[in-house]
Amino acid sequence: MNADLIARYAAPVPRYTSYPTAPYFHDGIDETHYRQWLGENTDGPLSLYLHIPFCDRLCFYCGCHTKQVRRYDPIAAYLDALNIEIELVAECLAGRRKVSAIHFGGGSPTIVSPVDLQRLRVTLDRHFDIQPDCEISVEIDPTHVDAERLSAWKSFGMTRASVGVQDFEPIVQAAINRPQSFEQTAAVVGMLRELGIGSINLDIVYGLPHQDRQMLLNTIELCLAMTPDRIAMFGYAHVPWVKKHQSRIDTATLASPVERFEMAATGTELLLDAGLVAIGIDHFAKPHDSMARKLADGALRRNFQGYTTDVANILIGLGASSIGRLPQGYIQNIVATGQYCRAVSEGRLPVVRGFALSDSDRASALAIENLMCRHAFSLADLRARFRRAADSACNDAMRTHFLDDDGLTSFDGDTFAIKPEGRPFTRAFASKFDRYLHQGAAKHSLAV
């Protein structure tokens, strides 16, 4: 593809796991709002996100809210607070609620001891009805987990594991402070299968320091050899102004936008040739996988964990820095673990900021989610659901198409769509529907 075209569409924009995006949340939304919102929602199942913000080591590429710990004491204290927060949230809900999905992210959730993990499950069961078919997914660092801990997660109810790979090339691993052999990773995948975990995802990152196309392809080949159900292939987000540890990565070793584009394109080709189905902009799944089926049914969703099969309209974030989504808007918890624990110990919901949605926001959010998931949306569908509040998103669609001199979009009077050749730039097109994007000083990662 033309280098000038790639450069024009590579401008930094959000990843659109929410709309509006987190930089535009504000402290005008507080604990009072959250308590009211929780009490107003009485129907349908919930999904839960639990954040474990600790790691045994700090990977230089990481963009998560986490910190390195050498002792278990801070983790134990944090888990005490997490159990209390679960109780505080449950008290605000109108009755005992069903839970259809639970996701553990980090950090490294597998850093939690088996005893504390069991206690956490007891707390959840005390306050929620976790459904028999609830998907319980866990992010796993294969370099710091053993059979005992994996068995504890199986007992907890884990149904899907997301195993971090990033890249198997030693020079890349050294640059990001993440030594991890293929044999080590394959052994963990093997243990998960022996435990009967029915769905395994592997995470790969392109655009890492020193990485080139051949290194990425080698990593993909090794991942395919482990026959995962899903593979996520993310572009590295270099944001050292947000994550100071990323400044330890020499920017001279990072790929250019054109090189990143070529990595993603050749990696995608290899994954499709292996029989996986492309999901959105950066996920791939076997045709039988639930995510591929949801895509085919038009029911694929996107939230703060990326693409998801979760259909719950309420996502409750638990733990420091966690973000929740309710029909009324978004809520984010205090980021610093010490302040989070102190707030919870005082009986306060640890809200630091949020965002109350208007119907116009909801219409734009649905348009963006449809573009990120299906690369298209219907203006008639938006208007049927939101009436005049959909005007802004519909006008954005027509304006974007009529100003598209590159011919990467289509519009038939109702459906706005991104053509296949424009899909590598989906985030850039989604940003055309983001009225908040240029209202602040937020900085984002490259769009390719």
Instruction: Tell me how far apart the alpha carbons of residues 122 and 78 are, in angstroms, rounded to a whole number.
Output: 17
> Considering the entire predicted model, what is its pTM?
0.94
How confident is the model at residue 441, as a pLDDT?
Answer: 56
Report residue 155 as tokens: 């007992």
Which of 339, 357, 350, 325 has the alpha carbon at shortest distance from 38?
A: 325
Quote the DSSP letter at residue 12: -
Taking only the tens place, the pLDDT of each residue in 17-28 is 999 999 999 999
Give 106's strand partners: 52
**Do 427 and 234 contact (CB within 8 A), yes or no?**
no
Ramachandran area for residue 76 (φ above 0: left; ψ -120 to 50: alpha; else beta): alpha
**Euclidean distance between the first and the last CA atom of the chain, given in angstroms as a whole number:** 13
How confident is the model at residue 446, as a pLDDT?
Answer: 65
Domains and CATH numbers, the chain: 15-318 (3.20.20.70), 358-435 (1.10.10.920)
Residues of the chain with pLDDT under 70: 440-448
